[in-house]
Amino acid sequence: MKRPALLGGLAVLVVALFVASLMVGKAVVPLSAWWSGDWRWAIIAELRLPRAALATLLGASLGLSGAVMQGWLRNPLADPGVLGTSGAAALGAVAAIVLGGATQWGIFGAAMACAAGGLALLAALTWHAETPAAFVLAGTVLASLAAALTAFLISIAPNPYVVAAAIDWLMGALTDRGVDDLTHAAPFMLAGCALLLATGRSLDALTLGPDAARSLGISLPRLQALVIVGAGLCVGAGVAVTGVVGFVGLVVPHMLRPLAGARPGALLVPAALGGAALVLAADIVCRLAPGAGEVRLGVAMALIGAPYFLVLLLGERGRSWG
């Protein structure tokens, strides 16, 4: 597909889903309520607008992080979680919930601090490492450690309500997220996205392997710093305000690679737009769940991601049998 058509189509899809996200929920509110004096305009302006903006930003940063991570590690199965940053940020959030009383700033600050600590540990573990395997292994160490400590904290929670709050957070959600959450996370996510968008040419060159990339004038340490800090900011800030939302960074680059082409740099902007569209759509579906409550966004993404990869797997098996 031609790039302008792909980007235009994705942009229209994001705008359409954003508008739908303002209108759709337990109560359907027409967009005209905003300017027609309808009292329900407050639902759009104060509840759904920040939530839709946060969904857009979260999806874009996760989709972009996934595309960059797959290009950097030269592995189509890599995702932002492979660095262990999301696990570290979740550890911080759970620590704040279990130990600190769960104020909004407390959770955000603890999650970002733990994400930063995770990045520092990752940098220390991969000092002078050049192979993708070293980063995957270091990320696995970090994710395993964070998961163990998170489970430990939940096991020493003072009462069942705290356990429920921690588990609820880990499932990831945009429910009840407001302007404060958006203003906390947006600067970090935007900074992370800016860093990640600067990696396109380097990722293209890395297609030829590290030596060829360096011979083309690419600085691999600079690329590594951009990827780790950029993805860390995006994922850390995302987890800090919404909890753990998986699969976006894995699924979106997969879905769009056949349309955008295999060049890693060409996939970055489409993956950001595709991620935004996917999270906006999933969040709408979450709200439409029957009953008074909502399905958790992390659960919805997993329900989308697992069948998608099952279809891919069946396709691969079909090809190998054919």
Partner 1 sequence: MGLRTDDLHVVLGKRTVLRGVTASFAPGRVTAVLGANGAGKSTLLRACAALLPASSGRVMLDGRNVATMPARERAQAIGYLPQDAAVHWNMVVRDLVQLGRLPHGDDGGEAIAAALAATDTIALADRPVRSLSGGERARVLLARVLAGEPRWLLADEPLASLDPLHQLETLALLRAAAGRGMGVLVVLHDLTLAARVADDVLLLKDGAALAHGPAAEVLTGANLAAAYGVRVAILSQPDGPVIVPLGRA
Q: Which amino acid is at 105?
A: W
| Window of 158-166, 171-179, 213-221, 274-282 that interacts with partner 1 by CB under 8 A | 213-221
Q: Which is nearer to partner 1, 130 or 168 (CB)?
A: 130
Residue whose C-alpha is closest to residue 174's, from 44, 86, 282? 282
Whichever of 170 and 227 has its CB closer to partner 1, that residue is 227
Residue 186 tokens, joined: 């947006």
Q: Least CB distance from residue 82 to partner 1, whole Å?
A: 16
Does 264 sit near partner 1 (CB under 8 A)? yes
CA distances from 139 to 93, 131, 132, 171, 236 (A): 19, 13, 11, 21, 14
Looking at residues 142 to 201 of the shown chain, list those that interact with partner 1 (rule: CB under 8 A).
201
Site string for partner 1, 40-79 (x = CB under 8 A): -------------------------------x--x-----
Q: Hey, which residues between 106 and 125 contact partner 1 (CB under 8 A)? A: none
Please state, in angstroms and rounded to a whole number, the distance separating the CA atoms of residues 214 and 92: 37
User: What is the radius of gyration, based on Cα positions, of the chain?
Assistant: 20
Among 106, 140, 214, 259, binds partner 1 (CB under 8 A): 214
Q: How many residues bind partner 1 (CB under 8 A)?
A: 22
130 binds partner 1 (CB under 8 A): no
> Which amino acid, residue 14?
V
Q: How far is the CB of 216 from partner 1 (least distance, A)?
A: 5
H helices within 198-296, ranges in order? 200-206, 210-215, 220-242, 248-260, 264-287
Evaluate whether 61 touches 186 at the Cβ level (below 8 Å).
no
As measured in angstroms, the least distance from the Cβ of 140 to partner 1 is 21
Of 48-56, 78-86, 214-222, 232-240, the window that binds partner 1 (rule: CB under 8 A) is: 214-222
The distance of closest approach from Cβ of residue 277 to partner 1 in the complex, given in angstroms and rounded to an integer, is 23
Least spacing, CB of residue 208 vs partner 1, in Å: 6
Dist. CA 149–CA 239, nearest whole Å: 16
If 0-12 CB within 10 Å is exposed, 13-18 middle and 19+ buried, where does residue 175 land? middle
Q: What is the Cα–Cα distance from 188 to 236, expressed in whole angstroms?
A: 9
Q: Is 131 in the site for partner 1 (CB under 8 A)?
A: no
Closest CB to partner 1 among 31 and 216? 216
- Considering only residues 32, 36, 183, 215, which one is a binding residue for partner 1 as defined by CB under 8 A? 215
- Among 103, 131, 187, 211, the residue binding partner 1 under the rule CB under 8 A is 211
Phi, psi dihedrals of residue 293, rounded to the nearest 5°: -90, -170
Q: What one-character DSSP code corresponds to residue 34?
A: G
Greatest extent of the chain over all pairs of C-alpha atoms, in Å: 63
Using the rule CB under 8 A, is 315 a contact of partner 1?
no
Using CB under 8 A, list all residues that contact partner 1.
Answer: 71, 74, 201, 204-209, 211-212, 214-219, 261-264, 266
